[in-house]
Structure 1
Amino acid sequence: MTSSDLYPVSRLAAVQEATAKGGLDALLLTPGPDLRYVSGYDAKPLERLTCLVVPAAGEPFMMVPRLELPAAEASPASRLGLEFVAWDETDDPYALAAARLGEVAKVGLADRMWAMSSLRFREVLPGAEQVLAGSVLRDLRMRKSPAEVAALREAGEAIDAVHRRVPELLRAGRTEREVARDIAEAILASGHATVDFVIVASGPNGASPHHDVSDRVIQPGEPVVVDIGGQLHNGYCSDSTRTYSVGEPPAEFAAYYEVLRQAQEAACAAVRPGVSCESVDAAARELIAAAGHGEHFVHRTGHGIGIETHEEPYIVAGNGEPLEPGHAFSVEPGIYLPGRHGARIEDIVVCTENGGERLNNTPRELVIV
């Protein structure tokens, strides 16, 4: 799988078409996931402006600080036939971009654009309404191509390899931070370019879904939630959660963990084209609520994933959008008992023509170490 598969030249034309259909005159894409998705260029976010300007009609161009020009030319963006407009230290790149773009009424700004840049674009394009570029990019980014699914599958296999090592790292007497350090090293060793997050939540800390890590010493008989993820060199992300127990867990925990496992299984089984995002959430939530733990499931069932760990579609009540082949997202119900313990099981799932494919395949049964 090459960068030309993940970031095809044809994508730029599709983005221009979506921009026109969305009623926008242009997209202004500064460093971040939107720019990388459209061009393949993982540009550094700096105070010096880098911006891909994609007009609805006309030739796209990229504003690049002169000292960043070699990096831009070496990136996959060089295959797009773009003009790289190098600007010098005494230039005003915002004014240069506006002059080239001409009169526009509505522009889409990269969703992660710094406020500094959005305000400068407002100054140089005073007559233009500013909206989020995501309004036209979201549908394209949600529907993963076969190459993107393959990249996510590779990321899933890499993070699975790390989870297989977790049992040898978890033991009573170690701190969460010590375990997390070893896991972070394993994430990089598995082929990831970056470690995006490591959650090691033992005992009562497991009741906090986004606990992170602490210097708490893991005790015998405690459940431990391990939620980990990173980004591969190709830009695509991993994210998987498993719950372990250091020795035999409390009976109460073992009972609701089985409920959670069944709920996660039901939600994964519910995935297929045409099914609403909220119905997948309901498939997990209803089982958990029926077991008396509805109030202990405090977050959505899932989030989309791709070149960002969290992106659309979101698997949550109120989202009636139907799933389509190529949609990729987490299925991660959890049960959290404040002050005691908690559990979560998370797989990345891709909607296929016939159902859903799990991209994480380590055991979902409780692993006792």
Structure 2
Amino acid sequence: MPQAVFDETEYERRIERTKQRMRDADLDALVVSDPANMNYLTGYDGWSFYVHQAVLVTLDRDEPVWVGREMDANGARATTKLGEESIRAYSDDHVHSPYDLHPMDFFADELESLGVSDAKIGLEMDAYYFTAKSYTRLQQNLPEATFEDHTLLVNWVRVKKSEQELEYMRQAARISENAMQAGLDAIGEGVPEYEAAEAIYSALIDGTDEYGGDYPSIVPLMPSGDHTGTPHLTWTDRPFEDGDPVIIELSGCRHRYHSPLARTTFVGDPPAEVQETADIVIEGIDAALDAVEPGVTAESVEKAWRETIAKYDVEKEDRIGYSMGLGYPPDWGEHTASLRPGDETILEENMTFHMIPGLWFDDFGVELSETFRVTSTGVEVLAEFPRELFTA
């Protein structure tokens, strides 16, 4: 039986909103290869995105068509409510083929069977798992078709969350809280970094007393010492030392929905400059969260942060947040709205963002973050975790 993650009417609404955007773009078909977008439209959930797969959406067909590897077809039957005619699989000799076969040869045949071989077809050309060869192979097989890049078409449908999506994100936040506490408790002088990572991973999967956790789209990030000026490092077997700042960025995951959370701890007594930096980051976060409400722009939220830290002669050029929620490796971001100068996206109720305005310098960095929902009057911060510099 298919998993009951969402009811069928929710998928129907998502598909109709996607089709409306297709009509607006004058598209006849859309090839959806981003695994998060595949999940969003059908519920398909499997670690099969290392081979070519996609959901095909056409305007004149009620159901999308799942296309993937033959051994993954039962996964589509297990995780979606698609009818048998909407599950179509290519044989294994298309995978890493020595016979000059390619999965897009099969995709082309399916698009032809759907009556769109000479139509205008949207592609997610900047999606992680849609390759340059996929594009050229489709062109070779369907010379009468017109292909256009519509990488973010479904992503923009996803930006406003339903009540059930929000509930899964809140559940993910509970897991994030437990995992963050486990990581903070594990860090100490002489403890190898991998032991803290182990404690975090265990908590991410253990979840809560009511439900378990899924694998997150990004591994726990845990730079320490001098490397805290570089935010996207993981862990090593180096023992923590007295005087080490340590950044932890992680996310609980529930039915592929995330609620990221970042905090910084210090092994020993933090020097004044580290504590002062943490205080600036916290003050800036508070100001940015206070600026959130429906009708304001994404850039105005970032401006509140920037003006706050400017009082201390501090500048930060990077964006401070991004729309996120449903995700698969390597990212939980939706790649749509960002909290940064120049982004004039108007915030609407039930948009969700990860605000992560860290400050990174050559010799140390301080990072705190919050995942939040735009409410009808302001903001809901999903995690309930102290916003402070910790010590180990």
TM-score relative to the length of structure 2:
0.85
| SS state at 2:249 partner | strand
Partner of residue 202, structure 1:
224
Counterpart amino acid of residue 366 in structure 2: A
How far apart are the structure 1 equivalents of 2:369 and 2:156?
Answer: 24
Match of 1:102 in 2: 116
The aligned counterpart of 2:274 is 253
> How far off its partner does 1:343 sit?
0.5
Q: Is the 8 A contact 1:109 1:131 kept in 2?
A: yes
Return the letter of the residue paired with 2:308.
L
User: Could you tell me which of 175, 189, 205 is aligned with 1:158?
Assistant: 175
How big is each residue's C-alpha offset from its partner over 1:189-219, in whole Å with a ceiling of 9 and x where there is no partner?
A: 2232214311222222111121222344322
Residue 23 (structure 2) pairs with residue 4 (structure 1): no
1:30 is matched with 33
Q: Is the Cα–Cα contact under 8 Å of residues 204 and 253 in structure 2 kept in the other structure?
A: no
SS at match of 2:325: coil
Counterparts in 2 of 1:68-217, with a 5 A limit? 68-78=72-82, 83-88=86-91, 92-100=105-113, 101-110=115-124, 111-115=127-131, 116-190=133-207, 191-195=212-216, 196-217=218-239
3-state SS of 1:130 partner? strand
Q: 1:62 aligns with which of 62, 66, 80?
A: 66
How many Å separate the matches in 1 of 2:360 and 2:75? 46
Identical residues among aligned pairs (%): 26
| Change in 2 beyond 3 A, CA 1:327/1:134 | farther
Question: Counterparts of 1:215 and 1:87 in 2: how far apart (Å)?
Answer: 43
Per the TM alignment, residue 302 of structure 1 is displaced from its structure 2 partner at its CA by: 0.5
Q: Give the whole-Å Cα distance in 2 for the aligned partners of 1:228 and 1:282.
A: 26
Q: 1:259 to 1:50 in 2, by over 3 A?
A: closer
Alpha-carbon distance between aligned partners in 1 of 2:333 and 2:116, rounded to the nearest angstrom? 35
Greater than 6 Å deviation, 4+ residue runs: none
When structure 1 is superposed on structure 2, of 258-267 and 185-194 the one drifting more is 185-194
Q: C-alpha distance in 1, partners of 2:41/2:189?
A: 47
* Pick aligned residue for 2:260 from 239, 251, 273: 239
Does the CA-based 8 Å contact 1:271-1:356 persist in structure 2? yes
- Shift in Å at residue 138 of structure 1? 2.9
Greater CA drift, 97-106 or 151-160: 97-106
Contact 2:31 2:55 in 1 (8 A): yes
SS across alignment from 2:31 = strand
Which of 297, 301, 304 aligns to 2:320? It is 301
2:356 aligned partner: 332
Number of positions where the alignment pairs a residue of Structure 1 with one of Structure 2: 363
CA displacement at 1:306 relative to structure 2: 1.2
Q: Given the two structures, how large is their TM-score scaled by the length of structure 1?
A: 0.90
Mind listing any 5+ residue stretches in structure 1 that lack a counterpart? none
CA 1:125–1:113: 2 relative to 1, 3 Å: farther
Q: Given the superposition, is the C-alpha separation of residues 352 and 288 from structure 1 closer, same or farther in structure 2, using an over 3 Å criterion? A: same
Determine helix, strand or coil for the equivalent of 2:258.
coil
Moved more, 183-192 or 20-29: 183-192
The letter of the residue matching 2:324 is I
Q: Secondary structure at the match of 1:219?
A: coil
Give per-residue Cα distances to partners, 1:27-56, cap 9 Å, x unaligned: 112361111111111241254x53322112
Task: Give the secondary structure class of the aligned counterpart of 2:166.
Answer: helix
Residue 187 of structure 1 deviates from its aligned partner by 1.6
